[in-house]
Every structure is written in structure tokens, then in C-alpha cells.
Amino acid sequence: MEENRAEKAERKVIMKTLMATDGSKMATSALRAAGRLLYKGDNEFHVLCVAPGFYHTRSKKAEDAEKRGRIREEYRKRITAETESILEQARKAL
């Protein structure tokens, strides 16, 4: 059975939106603009921030592997904090 116009108009459309940010002023402005356009209704927003991976030259020396592990862990902590800061900024913008 076909829906009549009133039933179609009554049905809610929920948009799910994935937005990416790098924390720049332009990205934040784009998030704000998208938020204003999509804020009406029960729309869902998901924000993505991608960080570059850590790459280090290979070495067979045990002390180099240990140093590489420490550097990788320091990088992971720093990039995690930076990414969390960017995402918090995005939450505030929306």
C-alpha cells in the first residue's frame, strides 16, 4: 500500500555525517558551517582526526631497537594528546 503525502511528510529523516578535521582554522570553520546546516533534527555527527604513523629506520642492534621503542612510545603519547585536543576543539565547534 502506498503511503500518502501526510505520512511521508511525518517520517523523520536522520542523517549520519562523518566529518574529518586536522585542527586547522579552515577545518574548524567547515565543521561549524556543517554543524549549522545539519543541526536541525536528530542528525548524528562523527568527527574523525587521523594522525600520521611513526616510521623509523630498521637496525639489528638491540640498543637501537630499545631506543626505537622509547621514541615510538613518546610519539604515541604526544600524537594521542594532540589528536584528543583537536577532537575536543571540534566538539566545541559543533
Q: What tens digit of pLDDT does each residue of 42-94 get?
A: 788 888 888 877 777 777 777 788 888 898 899 999 999 998 888 888 888 77
What residues contact 9, with CB distance under 8 A and at least 6 apart?
A: none
Q: What is the pLDDT of residue 2?
A: 60
Place of cell 600520521: 52
* Alpha-carbon gap, residue 77 to 83, rounded angstroms: 10
Q: What tens digit of pLDDT does each residue of 1-39 get?
A: 566 666 665 667 778 888 888 888 898 898 888 888 887
- Number of Cβ within 10 Å of residue 68's Cβ equals 16
Q: What is the pLDDT of residue 13?
A: 73
* Alpha-carbon gap, residue 17 to 28, rounded angstroms: 15
Q: What is the pLDDT of residue 5?
A: 67
